[in-house]
Amino acid sequence: MRLTNGLVGLCTLCAVAAPAAAGPTRRNPKPTYQSHPERTAAVKAAFQRSWDGYYKYAFPHDSLQPISNTFSDDRNGWGASAVDALSTALVMENNEAVQQIIAHIQNIDFDTAVGDISLFETTIRYLGGLLSGYDLLTGPLKSLSTNKTQLDAVLSQAKHLADNLKIAFDTPTGIPDNDILFSPPRRAGSQTNSIATIGTLVMEWTRLSDLTGEPVYGELAQKGESYLLDPQPKALAEPFPGLIGTNLNITTGQFLDGRGGWVGGDDSFYEYLIKMYIYDPVRFSSYKDRWVLAVESSIKYLASHPVSHPELTFLAMYSGTTPLFVSQHLACFDAGNIILGGLYLNEPEYIEFGLNLTASCHDTYTSTATRIGPETFRWQDDGKLLSTNSSGNPPAPAAQAEFFKKAGFWIQDGQYVLRPEVIESYYYAYRATGDTKYQDWAWDAFLAVNKTCAAGSGYSAIDNVNAADGGGFQDFQESFWFAEVLKYFYLIQADDAEYQIQADTSESYVFNTECHPLKKYSKSY
Ligand SMILES: *[C@@H]1O[C@H](CO)[C@@H](O)[C@H](O)[C@H]1NC(C)=O
Ligand SMILES: *[C@@H]1O[C@H](CO)[C@@H](O)[C@H](O)[C@H]1NC(C)=O
Ligand SMILES: *[C@@H]1O[C@H](CO)[C@@H](O)[C@H](O)[C@H]1NC(C)=O
Ligand SMILES: *[C@@H]1O[C@H](CO)[C@@H](O)[C@H](O)[C@H]1NC(C)=O
Ligand SMILES: *[C@@H]1O[C@H](CO)[C@@H](O)[C@H](O)[C@H]1NC(C)=O
């Protein structure tokens, strides 16, 4: 452990019992950070290549299909890649792209939509992108903002969008319907919603309230969240303290299952519990208490070591109290999130645990033919959580036995769709420790992705990370490639800045789940 302070080992009680308004008091020492200009230049070049392809063949539609040089309106046709790219173009100080995006934002027609609208996706990509753009353009990157009319439009468009989305919360319980339609705004009528899609709104909607002075947005999201903070019925909904089920009935507010983990469908609910405390420790202290419970239970009940590589740590999923030895690229954000919480709560054990998870996600990259990690993977637990060779803990299938022996996991779904989570955890590991090996891991991953996924006019999702050439292109460049992957690849090698995470928690920003930096409430006034 690089980080040392007065607290050693577990400190659940002191974290839970901290006075609501106290916030972090002790500080972790700040390491010396290194910047690598030749690496940041290469990442900026990858951004430019992706942006140019998008701007030429897809703008102002949502996503580039880089091989067919056409577009997809998979995010309602408002220019998802442009809005998602804004905060990355800003931190890279790519003035031309910034001006192109700002000019676009004032023209978006948020009253009409292509297709059904996902409240969750619209919130994290569009609302998050707009609010982050506004926070950066009125803060450390204000030199890139030239026109007050256009700047004001960034915030007013965010408010306009949220005003149209508000209908989603018009349910008997206040738990939002994730599916909406526009012209006029109306609910699609879903009966259920999941904890990720309910619990990953509160940062953006609260920030919108704090920026506009209109409390209604934050109140709506916090009301939906309240059912996740006190999950009912207890016996079904919360198999381990703080670790909860996935789906709720929108009409009753009751959970429908007790299955979950740090995986897709659940993931960013846990992420935002600690990030809301970071955003404002006064209002969101109880969210932090729930996060601490979830992390303590994860260390105790979900930390699993593959029988072939017991030095690795993956977090199991669960169905009730039964562990399931399967995880995802998506879940690899957990490492960075636990490190971040460890910094704020002064819990060296959390940081060490998060670094262990980071190293294990690194193994999912370095073990494949492309040196990129798979979408879904499995392993056989070493027998500590469930006895080896029992029906819930079988050996690797014969065809994967050799791979499992070598790697410590086997591949269930080998595609890579330009996801960020492993690089995200390298970023937090680096910022927490200053250990340059994490910069090297990120650079290695950049070279692998840059080589394997470069296709046509941009970058594409691939079919098989364990085929040397990636096994085929899906002809699709997700908007989060701009928002997240390129930003983490860049920031981990870049100069220090006000929005960079700091080991002593002195940064002014907290990143939403789409890697859009939002200004902390305490730094806003
Ligand atoms: C600022 O942008 C608005 C909207 O695009 C435009 O009408 C106006 O002329 C611009 N002002 C300046 C000073 O460039
Ligand atoms: C949700 O609860 C309502 C009211 O009890 C019930 O009518 C409906 O069938 C439930 N839906 C699901 C999917 O459980
Ligand atoms: C991290 O991994 C090391 C090596 O396997 C192990 O000794 C240590 O206990 C782990 N730390 C935590 C907090 O799990
Ligand atoms: C589990 O089964 C494999 C064969 O499939 C065997 O090699 C191994 O020894 C068994 N492990 C235990 C602990 O029984
Ligand atoms: C990244 O890929 C592009 C496109 O193939 C290539 O031109 C560039 O040299 C690569 N960058 C590095 C650092 O390998």
Atom 13 of ligand 1, residue of closest alpha carbon: 147
CB-based contact 158:127 (threshold 8 Å): yes
525 pLDDT band, cuts 50/70/90, is: low
Q: Is 173 in the pocket of ligand 2 (CB under 6 A)?
A: no
Residue 380 has pLDDT above 70, yes or no: yes
Rounded CA-CA distance 464/473 in Å is 9
Nearest ligand to the CA of 312 is 3
Give the number of the ligand closest to the Cα of residue 460.
5
Is the pLDDT confidence value at 503 over 70? Answer: yes
What pLDDT is attached to residue 16?
34
User: Is the shortest distance between the CB of 388 and ligand 4 below 6 Å?
Assistant: yes
Note the pLDDT of residue 522: 85
When the candidates are 3.90.1660.10, 3.90.580.10, 1.50.10.10, 3.40.50.970, the CATH number that belongs to 35-519 is 1.50.10.10
The residues annotated as belonging to the active site are: 121, 267, 375, 421
Q: Which atom of ligand 5 is nearest to the CA of 46?
A: 1
Rg of the chain over all Cα atoms, to the nearest angstrom:
22
Choose which residue among 252, 254, 255, 257 to substitute to test ligand 2 binding: the one with the highest number of ligand atoms within 8 A of its C-beta: 252
DSSP SS3 for 401: helix
Ligand 4 atom nearest to 395, measured from its CA: 5
Report, as an integer, the average pLDDT of 163-189: 98
Instruction: Give me the mean pLDDT over the 400-410 stretch.
Output: 98
Residue 239's Cβ-side half-sphere holds a number of Cα atoms within 13 Å equal to 20
Q: Which ligand has an atom closest to residue 36 CA?
A: 5
Contact 190 CB / ligand 2 (< 6 Å): no
Distance CA(379)–CA(287), nearest Å, equals 32
CB 93 within 8 A of CB 144: yes
Q: Is the peptide bond before 348 cis (omega within 30 degrees of 0)?
A: no
Among protein residues, the one whose CA lies closest to atom 13 of ligand 2: 191
Mean pLDDT, residues 311-340 taken together: 98
**Residue 447 C-alpha to ligand 5 middle, in angstroms?**
8
Question: Is the pLDDT at 19 greater than 70, yes or no?
Answer: no
**pLDDT bucket at 7, cuts 50 / 70 / 90:** very low
Cα 418 to ligand 5 centre (Å): 16
**Is a pLDDT exceeding 90 seen at residue 2?**
no
pLDDT at residue 21, rounded to an integer: 40
Best residue for ligand 4 mutational test, from 388, 400, 404 (most atoms within 8 Å of Cβ): 388
Give the chain's mean pLDDT.
94
Q: Side chain identity at 475, as an amino acid letter?
A: D
pLDDT of residue 198: 98
- Model confidence at 1, pLDDT cuts 50, 70, 90, reads very low
Q: CA-CA distance, 277 to 272, in Å (whole number)?
A: 8
Pocket residue to mutate for ligand 2, from 193, 248, 251, most atoms within 8 A of Cβ: 251
**Which atom of ligand 2 sits closest to the CA of residue 256?**
14
Confidence of residue 468 (pLDDT cuts 50, 70, 90): very high
Indicate whether 196 pLDDT > 90: yes
For 451-510, give the DSSP string. HHHEETTEE--BS-TTSTT-S-B---B-HHIIIIIHHHHHHTTSPP-TTS--TTS--SEE
Count H helices and E strands in the chain, helices first. Answer: 20, 19
At residue 15 the predicted structure's pLDDT band, cuts being 50, 70 and 90, is very low
pLDDT band at 28 (very low <50, low <70, confident <90, very high): confident
On the question of pLDDT at 26 being above 70, the answer is no
Please state the rounded mean pLDDT for residues 461-486. Answer: 98
Confirm if 91 and 499 have CB atoms less than 8 A apart.
yes
Domain range summary for the chain, segments of one domain joined by +? 35-519
pLDDT at 9: 31
- At residue 27 the predicted structure's pLDDT band, cuts being 50, 70 and 90, is low
Comparing 27 with 8, the larger pLDDT belongs to 27
Pick out the residues of the known binding site for Ca(2+): 513
- Per-residue pLDDT of 227-259, as tens digits, reads 999 999 999 999 999 999 999 999 999 999 999
Q: What average pLDDT does the segment 99-118 reach?
A: 98
Question: Which ligand is in closest contact with the Cα of 389?
Answer: 4
- Residue closest via CA to ligand 3's atom 14 equals 353
Pocket residues for ligand 1 (CB within 6 Å)? 106, 147, 149-150
Asked whether 146 lines ligand 4 (CB < 6 A), one says no
